[in-house]
Structure 1
């Protein structure tokens, strides 16, 4: 069975170069990748994966009150999660086998994802 890696990170991050060796390794291992639809790390990771022709990707987004629509998807398959962004993140954390967090050291959302996934997440501080 294919392992699932959740890649998450701070919206403030504009450059994911420090995380590319880890992302390349994830692709080399042919793991499934799940990522959110926010700006910052989510969007940059999707763009990198698209440029790399990596297709084993799903983008999770919040449905809010049933009216939510995916924002940044770069053409990948999407998964709507009932609720808000916290609910989306909790769902992603619950289905992943591993995590990769590209963190600015202050983002509470990324910190919460790191806490939810515990030792199965590699943290790259940017």
Structure 2
């Protein structure tokens, strides 16, 4: 990593607690041939006003509660994140969140920040820095947990959603990222394939065919 990418991060925004998004060395050589994504190019075109002093905004990785084990193809894509030492923001839910956390922790990744709604995250497998995003909603409800998802969508330059095709939370994250014009990679578990949303036309077509308003 260059010296500029090792600069200290900004303090958390007002109304939140926890550490700023962490960065640090990661284990190399996980992605392998064919595992890379053009995320760096996508992120250089993102908004300049980000949570980081460095030029690279984080990747928001999310997924469905029903997905508790990562397919090999998803782990290969995550290898590109590890190889490029890109910052990651992720939630604390069981299912895909916990599975991705476990994979990143096993690979020794440090540039991860956990977002949660409660005072203590439900899962923080790598003992990474935590940001609590408070919500004006009863604990445990969808509205309570969606507050942190909205914040991660706001901060992210890129989204990677591991979707079972039915989860309303994952559906909402795809919609939020698309509405912000972000580069989004969606893994569709029922079809075992990836969909890349890199242009406005691709995002609009995917939203029209697959995303329905869920009110969150």
CA distance in 2, matches of 1:77, 1:31: 16
Flag as ranges the 4+ runs of structure 1 deviating above 6 A: none
Query: Is 1:79 equivalent to 2:131 in the alignment?
Result: yes
The within-5 A match list for 1:63-102 is 63=118, 68-74=119-125, 75-83=127-135, 84-102=144-162
Q: CA deviation at 1:14?
A: 1.9
Q: Which runs of 5+ in 1 are unaligned?
A: none
Q: CA deviation at 1:6?
A: 0.5
Aligned to 1:7: 61
Cα deviation 1:23-73 (Å, max 9, x = unaligned): 10011111101100000010010110010001000000014xxxx421101
Give 1:38's match in structure 2, choosing from 68, 83, 93.
93
CA distance in 2, matches of 1:30, 1:92: 18
Query: Is 1:62 equivalent to 2:125 in the alignment?
Result: no
SS of alignment partner, residue 171 of structure 2: helix
Bigger relative contact order, structure 1 or 2, given CA contacts below 8 A and separation 6+?
1
Query: Is 1:125 equivalent to 2:177 in the alignment?
Result: no
CA distance in 1, matches of 2:90, 2:129: 11
Aligned to 2:172: 112
Larger mean Cα displacement after TM superposition, 102-111 or 70-79: 70-79
TM-score by length of 2: 0.55
Cα deviation 1:52-103 (Å, max 9, x = unaligned): 001000000014xxxx421101111111001121111000000000010000
CA distance in 2, matches of 1:36, 1:107: 15
CA distance in 1, matches of 2:108, 2:57: 19
Q: CA deviation at 1:2?
A: 2.8
Q: Which runs of 5+ in 2 are unaligned?
A: 1-54, 136-143, 190-216
- Whichever of the two has the greater Rg, that structure is 2
CA distance in 2, matches of 1:49, 1:27: 8
